[in-house]
A and B are shown apart, each in its own frame.
Chain A
Amino acid sequence: MINAIILSYTTFIYFIAFFLYLLFMVMGRPFFGRLATAATLVGLVAQSFAIVLRWIESYQLGIGHAPFSNLYESLIFFTWTIIFLYMVVEWKTKNRTLGTFVTPLAFLAMAYASFSPGINSKIQPLVPALKSNWLISHVITCFFGYAAFGLSFALSIMYLLKRMDTPQKKNMFLKLIPAQDILDELNYQMIVIGFLMLTLGIITGSVWAHSAWGSYWSWDPKETWSLITWLIYASIIHSRLVRGWKGKKIAFLSFVGFCCVLFTYFGVNYLAGLHSYAK
């Protein structure tokens, strides 16, 4: 299980990256920023390598399947997508401040996957219902959606922090955060990308459910919560486009939206527990 070892190193690398991004913003030295980017890139490459390795290992075990099949693997993939998407945004915007807010998300997800006692990092065989190419497209699209919403969440926090900045203040950390309208615009772009991906994710999930069980929508808690998330982001898009909501309101709604994402991902398992009323 060499992949799990590489992955636990990656957790550590993302923590270092976070520390470097933070140092960059507190001290205002671009050198640390470049170092942070390098560390994140190393983490991303190592993680990609480990995911591929895990894929190959599953074939060597004779139970070959894409590594997106249980909570451990999905957390790893979630981290991968969020870091990947962040690297693209950093490269496009030439701004590193977002890293300070995104790398902790990646680090926490990885740490949870690697160290939580309830999470099994073994490669497990797939039950028949999970053997579907639709499932693979479902996982990939959903997680890109979640990652985009994660970035939007981070941008919302930055937006709210930036509001505390005034020309008189000498706080380097706040000064380095881009201007509010830039954050707002980028935030909306992330919401739009996330919405498209979540839509695709729900659709591919429905196609899969339809081929596995004959019903494309059965209102089970996970499905319903993904719909709730989708509805929240749809109302964000409408309130912005048509009612002209901007800035603080959008940041707040994006916050709510990401809470729904988290609940869809983790909370639903708890709900399923609620359903067993055995006392």
Chain B
Amino acid sequence: MKKEKAKNRSNIIWTLFSSVKLTVTLLIILAMVSVLGTLIPQTNGAAEFAKTLSPALRQLFVSLDLFDMYHSLWFQMLMGLLTLNIIICSLDRFPATWKRFSKSPGPDRKKPFERLAPEHTFAIHTPRTDAGSAVHDLLTSKYRKLRAKETGADHFFCGERGGYSLFGVYLVHLSVLLILVGALVGSFFGFEAYVNVVEGETVDTVISRKTRTPIDLGFEVTCDDFSVDFYENGTPKEYQSEVTFSVDGKKRMRESIRVNHPATFEGVTFYQSNYGTVPGNTVHLTLLKGGTESEAISLKAEPGKSLPLPGGEGTFSIIDLRANIMDLGPAAMVSVQPRTGPAMEFWIFRHPERAKSLLPPPMLNSPKFNASAFAPYTFQLAGLDTRYFTGLQANRDPGVSIVWMGCFLMVAGLFISFFTSRQRVWVRLSKTKDGLSVAVAGTCSKNPVGLQRELDRLTNHLKQIFQKDQAV
């Protein structure tokens, strides 16, 4: 009793998962879920969007994982159901398909001839044995499998080709599984990370995008050079990083990385993703004495190193340097140490006019922003040496080759199932009063129009052969 029940239950499950009704339902649910996923901002914009919701609604969204639904448990379960559906459905149907593929019908089947088209039959006067071998030769040249049979007055031939067409569907379904497996492998054993490398510097870790924590690469990446090209209208044309990969200080590989041309080392692939600048080590200053240009003195300074003032009034140094401060452009903080008295510190800007127009007056009037605070000198920031850094995306994805294999298989499978068909053709030679009657018929797994064309061709071909015979 118990066993029976269990069997029944497994039967119900088997029936459910081998049904295409479930497939269509799942595909449509997936489509609708994806629609939702494009309406609700995922991960990046989610925080902002969440603020616009009422707390209760927000709580509901969070508990349903609606802000990161593609990684949620329920989405993965949906994928799992689809996988199970494909597997069970294929297992359920494969034996029947295999039977269709491997079992050949008797060559003397009557059924194909039941709907014989008049234009596919004609009479000849060739002797039967000659006619038989002619048909045999023609069919073997065109069809892979050929079987013949003589029954009393009739001589049958049956040729078959394109049997592989029956398996196209299995390739497509297998490919879906492969792609899902590849994605799973990638999410378990891979990572997505990024790293900024300043020209001339070396890093050995990258930062995970998901956890924001460093990942140890096990090798070093040096950016030897970075360059960026622009079109005439100012839009970027090409970014390029020259990168050296080394292990324990030993150089192993040099590559140039461009957008669309990543480089792979030890399973980690580096993509050109963005770039930026950091201040270099040389600051160009102009000192105006007494505020007049005629007494301008150009100086080069390095941050942190103190330099004497030209008139010997004391020393100064650059104690802070920013490539872009509050969107005002480059700025440096100068500290002047007079011979006697306390030190003074103030900011100087590369673009003082911009600073003047954008900063509020109380701020401007404070000594912190007065470049002439130490009379009689006025400090000007003439320029900064900047260095580029290259922003690299660094990914490891061992699943990607499985995904590409799946994609290839999918295209091949779609091609086979859409555009090929198994064709079987029958030729029957029957004795008549004054010779032989030839009849051509066929069946196919799909594309009946193609079959009709094939039968037309075959009939014409046979007619030609026998006409030639007759002419001799």
Q: How far is the CA of A235 from the CA of B258 in the complex (A)?
A: 40
Q: How far is the CA of A138 from the CA of B23 in the complex (A)?
A: 28
Interface set, chain A 165-188, CB cutoff 8 A to B: none
Residue in chain A with minimal CB distance to B23: A238
CB pair A231–B418 under 8 Å, yes or no, is: no
Q: Is A203 part of the binding interface, using a Cβ–Cβ cutoff of 8 Å?
A: yes
Q: How far is the CA of A224 from the CA of B262 in the complex (A)?
A: 25
CB pair A125–B235 under 8 Å, yes or no, is: yes
Q: Is B375 part of the binding interface, using a Cβ–Cβ cutoff of 8 Å?
A: no
CB pair A243–B20 under 8 Å, yes or no, is: yes
Q: Which residues of A contact B24 (CB under 8 A)?
A: 235, 238-239, 243
Q: Which residues of B contact A214 (CB under 8 A)?
A: 192, 262, 269, 271, 273, 393-395
Q: Which residues of B contact A231 (CB under 8 A)?
A: 27-28, 30-31, 34
With A127-B235, A128-B238, A227-B34 as given contacts, are A215 and B192 in contact (CB-CB < 8 Å)? yes
Interface set, chain A 110-160, CB cutoff 8 A to B: 125, 127-129, 131-132
Which of B30, B38, B411 has the most A CB atoms < 10 Å from its CB? B38
Name B271's contact: one of A213, A219, A238, A242 (CB within 8 Å): A213
Residue in chain B with minimal CB distance to A239: B24
CB pair A219–B70 under 8 Å, yes or no, is: yes
Residue in chain B with minimal CB distance to A132: B260
CB pair B34–A215 under 8 Å, yes or no, is: no
Residue in chain B with minimal CB distance to A202: B407
Q: How far is the CA of A192 from the CA of B415 in the complex (A)?
A: 10
Interface set, chain A 216-242, CB cutoff 8 A to B: 216-217, 219, 221, 224-225, 227-228, 231-232, 234-235, 238-239, 242
CB pair A216–B38 under 8 Å, yes or no, is: no
Q: How far is the CA of A212 from the CA of B238 in the complex (A)?
A: 13
Q: How far is the CA of A238 from the CA of B89 in the complex (A)?
A: 13
With A213-B273, A214-B269 as given contacts, are A195 and B237 in contact (CB-CB < 8 Å)? no
Q: Which residues of A contact B52 (CB under 8 A)?
A: 277
Shortest Cβ distance from residue B14 to the other chain A in the assembled complex, whole angstroms? 17
CB pair B42–A219 under 8 Å, yes or no, is: yes
Q: Is B96 part of the binding interface, using a Cβ–Cβ cutoff of 8 Å?
A: no
Q: Is A94 part of the binding interface, using a Cβ–Cβ cutoff of 8 Å?
A: no
Q: Which residues of A contact B35 (CB under 8 A)?
A: 228
Name A128's contact: one of B70, B236, B404 (CB within 8 Å): B236
Which of A196, A208, A212, A214 has the most B CB atoms < 10 Å from its CB? A214
Q: How far is the CA of A199 from the CA of B414 in the complex (A)?
A: 9
Q: Is B141 part of the binding interface, using a Cβ–Cβ cutoff of 8 Å?
A: no
Q: Which residues of B contact A269 (CB under 8 A)?
A: none
Interface set, chain B 24-74, CB cutoff 8 A to A: 24, 27-28, 30-31, 34-35, 37-39, 41-42, 45, 48-49, 52, 70
Shortest Cβ distance from residue B170 to the other chain A in the assembled complex, whole angstroms? 14
Shortest Cβ distance from residue A197 to the other chain B in the assembled complex, whole angstroms? 10
Q: Which residues of B contact A234 (CB under 8 A)?
A: 27
Q: B251-287 interface mask toward A, CB cutoff 8 Å, 1 = contact, 0 = none?
A: 0000000111110000001011100000000000000
Residue in chain A with minimal CB distance to B28: A235
Name A206's contact: one of B260, B261, B394, B407 (CB within 8 Å): B407
Q: How far is the CA of A196 from the CA of B168 in the complex (A)?
A: 13
**Which residues of A approach B to under 8 Å, CB–CB?**
63, 125, 127-129, 131-132, 192-193, 195-196, 199-200, 203, 206-208, 210-217, 219, 221, 224-225, 227-228, 231-232, 234-235, 238-239, 242-243, 268, 271, 274-275, 277
How many residues of B are counted as interface, with CB atoms below 8 angstroms from the partner's CB atoms? 50
Q: Which residues of A contact B27 (CB under 8 A)?
A: 231-232, 234-235, 238
Q: Which residues of A contact B394 (CB under 8 A)?
A: 214
A-B contact count (CB 8 A): 110
With A132-B260, A212-B260, A231-B31 as given contacts, are A195 and B414 in contact (CB-CB < 8 Å)? yes
Q: Which residues of A contact B410 (CB under 8 A)?
A: 199, 203
CB pair A63–B34 under 8 Å, yes or no, is: no
CB pair A196–B415 under 8 Å, yes or no, is: yes
Shortest Cβ distance from residue A244 to the other chain B in the assembled complex, whole angstroms? 11
CB pair A128–B20 under 8 Å, yes or no, is: no
Q: How far is the CA of A195 from the CA of B172 in the complex (A)?
A: 13
Shortest Cβ distance from residue B350 to the other chain A in the assembled complex, whole angstroms? 28
Shortest Cβ distance from residue A61 to the other chain B in the assembled complex, whole angstroms? 10
Shortest Cβ distance from residue A223 to the other chain B in the assembled complex, whole angstroms? 9
Q: Which residues of A contact B192 (CB under 8 A)?
A: 214-215
Name A213's contact: one of B30, B393, B403 (CB within 8 Å): B393
CB pair B411–A200 under 8 Å, yes or no, is: yes
Q: B391-412 interface mask toward A, CB cutoff 8 Å, 1 = contact, 0 = none?
A: 0011100001001100100110
Q: Which residues of A contact B237 (CB under 8 A)?
A: 125, 128
Residue in chain A with minimal CB distance to B415: A196
Q: Is B231 part of the binding interface, using a Cβ–Cβ cutoff of 8 Å?
A: yes
In the complex, 5 of the A-B residue pairs with CB atoms within 8 angstroms, ordered by the A residue number, are A128-B260, A214-B192, A214-B262, A214-B393, A235-B24
Q: Which residues of A contact B235 (CB under 8 A)?
A: 125, 127
CB pair A224–B393 under 8 Å, yes or no, is: no
CB pair B259–A242 under 8 Å, yes or no, is: no
Q: How far is the CA of A231 from the CA of B21 in the complex (A)?
A: 14
Name A129's contact: one of B34, B259, B262 (CB within 8 Å): B259
With A196-B414, A196-B415 as given contacts, are A211 and B260 in contact (CB-CB < 8 Å)? yes
Q: Is B357 part of the binding interface, using a Cβ–Cβ cutoff of 8 Å?
A: no
Q: How far is the CA of A224 from the CA of B31 in the complex (A)?
A: 9
CB pair A210–B400 under 8 Å, yes or no, is: yes
Q: How far is the CA of A199 from the CA of B172 in the complex (A)?
A: 11
Q: Which residues of A contact B129 (CB under 8 A)?
A: none
Q: How far is the CA of A100 from the CA of B403 in the complex (A)?
A: 42
CB pair A215–B395 under 8 Å, yes or no, is: yes
Q: How far is the CA of A213 from the CA of B269 in the complex (A)?
A: 10
Shortest Cβ distance from residue A141 to the other chain B in the assembled complex, whole angstroms? 10
Shortest Cβ distance from residue B207 to the other chain A in the assembled complex, whole angstroms? 14
Interface set, chain B 208-239, CB cutoff 8 A to A: 231, 233, 235-239
CB pair A225–B260 under 8 Å, yes or no, is: no
Q: How far is the CA of A63 from the CA of B414 in the complex (A)?
A: 38
Q: How far is the CA of A127 from the CA of B407 in the complex (A)?
A: 28
Q: Is B183 part of the binding interface, using a Cβ–Cβ cutoff of 8 Å?
A: yes
Known: A212-B259, A271-B39. 6 other contacts (CB 8 A): A129-B260, A211-B262, A216-B403, A235-B28, A235-B31, A243-B24
Shortest Cβ distance from residue A181 to the other chain B in the assembled complex, whole angstroms? 12
Q: How far is the CA of A208 from the CA of B271 in the complex (A)?
A: 12
Shortest Cβ distance from residue B32 to the other chain A in the assembled complex, whole angstroms? 8
Q: How far is the CA of A12 from the CA of B400 in the complex (A)?
A: 47
Q: Which residues of B contact A239 (CB under 8 A)?
A: 20, 24
